[in-house]
A = this chain, B = another copy of it.
Amino acid sequence: MTKHVYTFGAGQAEGKANMKNLLGGKGANLAEMNLIGVPVPPGFTITTEVCTMYNEQGQQATFDLIKPEVEAAVALVEQLTETEFGSKENPCLMSVRSGARASMPGMMDTVLNLGMNDDAVEGITKKSGNSRFAWDSYRRFVQMYGDVVMDMKPASKEEIDPFEEIIEELKEEKGIQLDTEFSTDDLKELVARFKAAVKKVTGKDFPTDPWEQLWGAVAAVFGSWNNDRAIYYRRMEQIPDEWGTAVNCQAMVFGNMGSNSGTGVAFTRDAGTGEDIFNGEYLIDAQGEDVVAGIRTPQEITLEGSKRWAKLQGISEEERASKYPSLEEAMPEMYRQLNDTQQKLEDHYSDMQDLEFTIQEGKLWLLQTRNGKRTGAAMVKMAVDMLEEGRIDEKTALKRIEAAKLDELLHPVFDTAAMKSATVLAKGLPASPGAATGQIVFFADEAASYPESVLVRTETSPEDLEGMNIAKGILTARGGMTSHAAVVARGMGKCCVSGAGAVKINYKTRVMTIDGKEYHEGDWISLNGSTGEVYEGKVSTMDPEMSGNFAKIMDLAQKFTRMSVRTNADSPADAQVARDFGAQGIGLCRTEHMFFEGERIKAMREMILAKTEVDRRKALDKLLPYQREDFEGILEAMAGYGVTIRLLDPPLHEFVPHEEANQKDMAKEMGISVEDVKALVDDLHEFNPMLGHRGCRLGNTYPEITEMQARAIIEAAVNLTQKGVDARPEIMVPLIGTVKEFKLQADIIHATAKKVFEEKGAKCDYMVGTMIEIPRAAMTADLVAEHAEFFSFGTNDLTQMTFGYSRDDAGKFLPIYIEKGILKNDPFQVLDQEGVGQVVKIGVEKGRSTKPDLKVGICGEHGGEPSSVMFCDSVGMDYVSCSPYRVPIARVAAAQANLK
């Protein structure tokens, strides 16, 4: 028979730490603490499976099933605490709390002081000798239970809580200001009025039977799994809906029973820095909620911490010691026990613990322990420290790294204090992490007008590239996490906030308007690329510390990885950054970005304007030396590693100006009429450029473009090889959908290479492969692999086409889709393994079916996202490639994937 209820108490427990899936994190740790001799109030856990049953089969069937087990468990609690549920003499009071597999703090419901009624309050009065305490507990219980279980909520968000309303009324009647001024009789009056209100609003009597109370509370906790804020939190944290929550019922302990009682929270190490310093806060004569409420100032647990705190606050040692003594000073024995316990818990779990404790009349109780949340820096330090302390092995240290959090370590950040006092103007998407402060410019070619500028655009285009590189940060009004601005900015490691809808831009007047307020060119703003916030004025920043621990983690990643990590880089500088981060090769070098500077764009436009192959070749001849030079630089920067160079990909209209002023410039420069420029732009217009004349469709309609690019690459590689540089170009044909498209391009490349080798009398190594980014290419990958030497999955476009989403337009429905749970994640950020992943898998399998040693990688944005990297490992890819600043993240994720 399945067991639904697991008891714990007095050093015994039916559960243990590794039963988190069944008992939830809290329940499993409560059991474990019992087993290792940490004092925990006795209680029991109703499993997460019961929650699932509750949601599927309803309350009646579920409670009928678990009733005997719950009754037995309550009996055990009564026995261990020598109390009795509802007793007038020795009543048993309980807490009922949620506890899911993953921590969801504050999202679900809790009921405290359960078991309280007119009899029990007398028992508590007798036991505590404190009738005010007893009645206050009773009052709190009715209020909490009425709210949580009986749904006594404000009628609308404009109205106040019905219980608070009664409290306010009574205060007025009594002429008092604070809750603490209520007398015991006042509290009795409140209990009476609360119950009457419940009856009036719900039509039901407030339950006096502790059992009825208990079942009501359990039902409320299960039900709260599906309240709006819990659902929202799960979406945010990617917690599956089907996990469910456990319910933990535990004997109450009270920190508010006088000066020998208290309550607090503590961390076994510093969650901000990772230092091995026990720290935390507590309050004497208080309940847990008082620590949070902020009415009283919590005190530090350790003397050292208390002194540091006082110094920061400007409080004298005298005042500190008298008014805010540490627990170490105030209750030395309790402190000793707590310190022993935290040591024991960290030793036991081998990880930094986040504890909750209560001291009831000189006895220490632990109410919770869990692995503590920490900053990226702390995460790295703790993992390395614990490895060096011998607490954990290398694999465990590596697993401790939440790869995505490494991002925090790689970009400049705002000074925390400065950020807190800054005015938030607008909020967009955290498109590229980091912090930027600068003066507003509206045009990319004016980015250099100020020493520190922030480029503000409705959206960016490839023409803006140079300016984006110069600006300190980029703010766009439109576009998502994978808009042009976002992708390019991440590639550059440049701070970017995209899609800030409140931002309206008038290019003519050079004014940005937010909520009616105008900002002009030259005004200072600051961007937080990690939160998406836009601040008014200057906010000071600080550089991140790249400590030696970071390097140690990278070494571990290198040791345990199967896949290698490459970078997406279009310049020698980017390549160098990525190499410093440990990238082993370039997975995607886009050649089109090389066409925008100075004379190049002119030659490119000549090529586009050319009516005949002869004229096109003339223009291409001008581009050849630029390209060759670029490739030499990049191949040299990544010497010894493969450099995947993608041939021209974007549609030609991206190389012509769409704004009238720029069209005039182009006409002048090219010596043609503005009408001709406009006609050209019109002719190049496409309804769906994403699905238009681009990629190898250009190379197949104008083979001379491919020929020029192949020549530039091969000449560059031969030149370097002759200089003794180990150049390894891998020429990649983009956007193929049929094997013939690839074959024709590959034939041109091979023929060109042969010609160059003959001309130069020297050779170089090179490979020819293709990007798999069109569903049809994956479906026919067996045919393609007969001719291609490598595949690189372009999962950006593959996601667009497999979903039928334009990432430039999806902003209109993607947020709603995520909110409604249609999608768990933005598929442009997290690879959709269910759908797109299948296409990738088919592509890899079919490709290897005809070429078993086919080299396979990924070069979409997903290559730097941990869960996507794990997927790439699982389908057997050889490498992932991502933007330089995500290389460390991908390296850790790749190693972790291999450890699984």
One of B688, B776, B817 near A700 (C-beta < 8 A): B817
A822, B738: Cβ atoms closer than 8 Å: yes
Q: Report how far A806 CA is from B806 CA in the complex, Å.
A: 12
When chains A and B are docked, how far (Å) is the Cα of A412 from the Cα of B645? Answer: 55
Bound CA–CA A691/B692 (angstroms): 12
Complex contacts, A832 vs chain B, CB 8 Å: 776
Most chain-B Cβ atoms within 10 A of its Cβ — which of A686, A740, A744, A835? Answer: A835
| CB under 8 Å from chain B, chain A span 725-743 | 735, 737-738, 740-741
| A691 B690 Cβ-Cβ under 8 A | yes
* Beta-carbon contacts under 8 Å, A795-813 to B: 797, 800-806, 808-810, 812-813
Tell whether, in the assembled complex, residue A816 and residue B690 are in contact, meaning their CB atoms are under 8 Å apart: no
**Contacting residues, chain B, for A201 (C-beta < 8 A):** none
Q: How far is it, in angstroms, between the C-alpha of A693 and the C-alpha of B815 when the chains are bound?
A: 12
Q: Do A804 and B797 form a contact, CB below 8 Å, given A688-B689, A779-B838?
A: yes
A700 adjacent to B813 (CB under 8 Å): yes
Question: Are B812 and A692 in contact (CB-based, < 8 A)?
Answer: yes
B-facing residues in A687-710 (Cβ within 8 Å): 687-693, 697, 700-701
Bound Cα distance from A690 to B801, whole angstroms: 11
Q: Taking the complex as formed, is A134 at the interface, i.e. its CB lies under 8 A from any CB of chain B?
A: no
Q: Which of B737, B738, B821, B836 contacts A776 (CB 8 A)?
A: B836
**A823 at the B interface (CB under 8 A):** yes
In the assembled complex, A820 has its CB within 8 A of some CB on chain B: yes
Question: Quick one: which of B686, B697, B835 contacts A738, CB cutoff 8 A?
Answer: B835
Q: How many copies does the complex hold?
A: 2
User: Within residues 764 to 817 of chain A, which ones have a CB less than 8 A from any CB in chain B?
Assistant: 773-776, 779-780, 797, 800-806, 808-810, 812-813, 816-817
Nearest opposing residue in chain B for A703, CB measure: B820
Give the residue of B773, B776, B802, B808 whose beta carbon is less than 8 angstroms from that of A687. B808
Residues of B within 8 A of A737 (CB): 802-805, 835
**For residue A801, which residues in chain B have a CB less than 8 angstroms away from its CB?**
775, 801-802, 804
* Structural contact, A691 and B800, CB atoms closer than 8 A: yes
Once A700-B820, A740-B822 are accepted as A-B contacts, the answer to whether A774 and B804 lie under 8 Å apart by CB is: yes
- Is A834 in contact with chain B by the CB < 8 A criterion? yes
A858 within 8 A of B: no
Asked whether A693 lies within 8 Å of B813 as measured between CB atoms, the reply is yes
- In the complex formed, the residue of B with least CB distance to A846 is B838
Q: Which residues of B contact A779 (CB under 8 A)?
A: 802, 835, 838-839
The CB with the most chain B CB atoms within 10 A, among A692, A776, A803, is that of A776
Q: For the complex, give the distance between the alpha carbons of A740 and B822 in Å.
A: 5
- How far in angstroms is the closest Cβ of chain B from A614? 18
Pick the contact of A806 from B687, B700, B809, B821 — CB < 8 Å? B687
* Residues in B neighbouring A804, C-beta threshold 8 A: 690-691, 735, 737, 773-776, 797, 801
Residues of B within 8 A of A687 (CB): 689-690, 806, 808-809
Docked-complex contact A701 and B835, CB < 8 angstroms: no
Q: Cα distance A823–B802 when bound, in Å?
A: 21
Distance of A528 from chain B, by nearest CB (Å): 27
Cα-based distance from A480 to B290 in the complex (angstroms): 72
By a CB distance below 8 angstroms, the chain B residues around A805 are 691, 737
Q: Chain B residues near A821 (CB, 8 Å)?
A: 740
* A822 B700 Cβ-Cβ under 8 A: yes
With a cutoff of 8 Å between Cβ atoms, the chain B residues found around residue A692 in the complex are 806, 809-810, 812
CA gap between A832 and B780 in the complex, in Å: 12
A687→B700 CA distance, assembly (Å):
25
Contacts of A701 in B (CB 8 A): 812-813, 816
The residues of B that contact A820 with a CB separation of less than 8 Å are 700, 740, 744
Question: Which residue on B lies nearest to A652, using beta carbons?
Answer: B812
Query: In the complex, are the beta carbons of B839 and A775 less than 8 A apart?
Result: yes
Chain B's closest residue to A651 (CB) is B809
Contact B693 A812 (CB under 8 A): yes
A808 to chain B, nearest CB (A): 4
Residues of chain B contacted by A797 (CB below 8 angstroms) = 804
Q: Which B residues touch A800, using CB under 8 A?
A: 691
> Shortest Cβ distance from A690 into chain B, in angstroms?
4
CA distance A809 to B701 in the complex (A): 14
Interface contact B809-A744, CB-CB below 8 Å: no
Residues of B within 8 A of A822 (CB): 700, 738, 740-741, 744
Closest to A776 in B: B835
**Chain B hits for A802, CB < 8 A:** 737, 774-776, 779, 801
Kindly identify which residue among B693, B735, B773, B780 contacts A809, using a CB–CB cutoff of 8 Å: B693
Partner of A691, one of B691, B774, B776, B816: B691
Contact with A835, one of B691, B780, B816 (Cβ below 8 angstroms): B780
Q: How far is the CB of A463 from chain B (nearest CB, A)?
A: 16
Q: How far is the CB of A766 from chain B (nearest CB, A)?
A: 24
Pairwise interchain contact B740-A688, C-beta atoms closer than 8 A = no
Contact with B along A829-865 (1 / 0, CB 8 A): 0001011101100000000000000000000000000
Given contacts A835-B779, A839-B779, contact A806 B738 (CB under 8 A): no
Chain B residue, CB-CB nearest to A742: B822
How far apart sit A738 and B814, CA to CA, in the bound complex (Å)? 13
Q: Give the residues from 135 to 187 in chain A that come closer than 8 angstroms, CB to CB, to chain B.
A: none
Least Cβ distance of A748 to chain B in Å?
12
Within 8 A of B (CB), among A669-699: 686-693, 697
B-contact bits for A592-620, CB 8 A (1 contact / 0 none): 00000000000000000000000000000
Q: Are A806 and B776 in contact (CB-based, < 8 A)? A: no
How far apart sit A775 and B838, CA to CA, in the bound complex (Å)? 11
Give chain B residues whose Cβ lies under 8 Å from the Cβ of A806.
686-688, 690-692
14 pairs across A/B with beta carbons < 8 Å?
A: A687-B689, A689-B809, A690-B804, A691-B804, A693-B813, A700-B822, A701-B812, A737-B804, A738-B835, A740-B820, A740-B821, A774-B802, A775-B802, A776-B836
Q: Give the 9 A-B CB pairs with smallest separation, nearest first.
A: A688-B806, A691-B806, A776-B835, A692-B809, A687-B808, A774-B804, A693-B812, A688-B690, A688-B688
Sample of 7 further A-B pairs with CB below 8 A, known A688-B689, A801-B802: A686-B809, A690-B691, A700-B816, A701-B816, A737-B804, A773-B804, A779-B835
